[in-house]
């Protein structure tokens, strides 16, 4: 059984799509960090240099070895080039490995880092290191087009990824109502959208109508979606389960500030749950229709 699992193969499109999605997200992520790059990771940034080095040496970080602003900007430019190489599928696994170490460094270098998006991105970059992400959708500079290789590739790496991803929801779901009664009462979303330091649009009146019935329905529905996803994703309702969880994460990103990066990064992980061959056919058909409508 173990040998069969290790030799399991699948259509490669889903791995290439995952690489493109993760690469574009990381590129945007790095661009958003540019205006506070020195403030966050510089030698005299959010913490004194001695404190920062004590933290980053105890929690491994490349920033422990860079003590000048010029060096930090050189590292930033190199990171952008690595992200572009990652998107294009060039230089093998070197960009994925570099980005994984960089994301770990970003997470470990902040003294009071409690942000979940860095953790999620570290996990996704790690799996990119061991997955066959360059099997297709690699940009060929000579032909000036993306490859469309369809030879099946080893897919055993999906197993630990699926387990890891689902455990995020399986473990966190029962803890929510246990630690916060608002999940049980259905008032969690009502409180969140009316809190000025969390809500993107504070005071939404729709969540106040009829004893906050909209809040109750959406709060309980979110618990249901997180609870049924780990089960339904293995049934014929897989796509519906994925779309439901995507809608849930997009809703969080729209309504709440400060957590949108985590919500959007979790959507990247859902790409690998999609049926690879069928997803390729759907995207190709959609692109064909778009091209026809363009003329």
pLDDT for 213? 82
**pLDDT digit string, tens, across residues 5-21:** 556 788 999 999 999 99
Q: How far apart are CA 248 and CA 222, in angstroms?
A: 7
Domain ranges for the chain, please list them: 10-139, 156-257
Q: How far apart are CA 124 and CA 268, in angstroms?
A: 8
Pair 23, 161: CB distance under 8 Å: no
Indicate whether 214 pLDDT > 70.
yes
H/E segment holding residue 10: strand 9-10
pLDDT tier, 211 (very low <50, low <70, confident <90, very high otherwise): low
**pLDDT digit string, tens, across residues 109-135:** 765 555 566 788 889 999 999 999 999
CB-based burial of residue 279 (10 Å sphere; 0-12 exposed, 13-18 middle, 19+ buried)?
A: middle
Name the average pLDDT for the chain: 83
pLDDT for 1? 47
In angstroms, how far is CA 256 from the centroid of its own chain?
Answer: 17
Say how many C-beta atoms besides its own lie within 10 A of residue 10's C-beta.
17
Please state the length of the chain.
295
Indicate whether 2 pLDDT > 70.
no
pTM of the model: 0.87
Say how many C-beta atoms besides its own lie within 10 A of residue 83's C-beta.
24
pLDDT for 4? 55
pLDDT for 114? 53
**pLDDT digit string, tens, across residues 52-105:** 556 555 677 888 788 788 888 999 999 999 999 999 999 999 999 999 999 988
pLDDT for 255? 80
pLDDT for 210? 61
**pLDDT digit string, tens, across residues 161-210:** 999 999 988 888 888 888 888 888 887 877 777 777 777 777 666 666 66
């Amino acid at each position: 059984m173990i040998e069969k699992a290790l030799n399991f193969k699948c259509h490669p499109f889903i791995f290439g799509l995952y690489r493109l999605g993760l690469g574009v997200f990381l590129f945007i992520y790095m661009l958003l960090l540019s205006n506070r790059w020195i403030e966050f990771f510089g030698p005299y940034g959010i913490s004194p240099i001695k404190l920062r080095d004590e933290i980053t040496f105890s929690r491994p970080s490349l920033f422990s070895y860079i003590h000048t602003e010029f060096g930090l900007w050189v590292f930033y430019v190199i990171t952008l080039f690595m992200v572009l190489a990652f998107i294009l599928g060039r230089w093998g696994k070197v960009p994925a490995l570099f980005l994984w170490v960089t994301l770990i460094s970003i997470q470990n270098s902040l003294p009071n880092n409690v942000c979940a998006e860095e953790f999620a991105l570290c996990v996704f970059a790690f799996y990119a290191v061991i997955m066959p992400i360059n099997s297709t959708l690699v940009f060929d500079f000579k032909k000036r087009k993306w490859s469309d290789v369809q030879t099946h590739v080893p897919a055993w790496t999906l197993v630990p990824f699926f387990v890891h991803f689902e455990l995020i929801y399986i473990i966190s779901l029962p803890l929510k109502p246990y630690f916060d009664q608002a999940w049980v009462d259905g008032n969690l979303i009502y409180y969140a959208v009316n809190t000025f330091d969390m809500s993107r649009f504070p005071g939404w009146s729709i969540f106040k109508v009829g004893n906050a019935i909209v809040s109750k329905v959406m709060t309980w529905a979110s618990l249901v979606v997180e609870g049924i996803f780990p089960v339904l994703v293995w049934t014929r309702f897989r796509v519906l389960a994925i779309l439901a969880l995507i809608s849930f994460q997009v809703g969080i990103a729209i309504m709440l500030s400060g957590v949108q990066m985590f919500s959007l990064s979790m959507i990247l992980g859902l790409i690998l749950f999609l049926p690879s061959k069928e997803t390729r056919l759907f995207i190709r058909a959609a692109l064909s229709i778009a091209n026809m409508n363009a003329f």
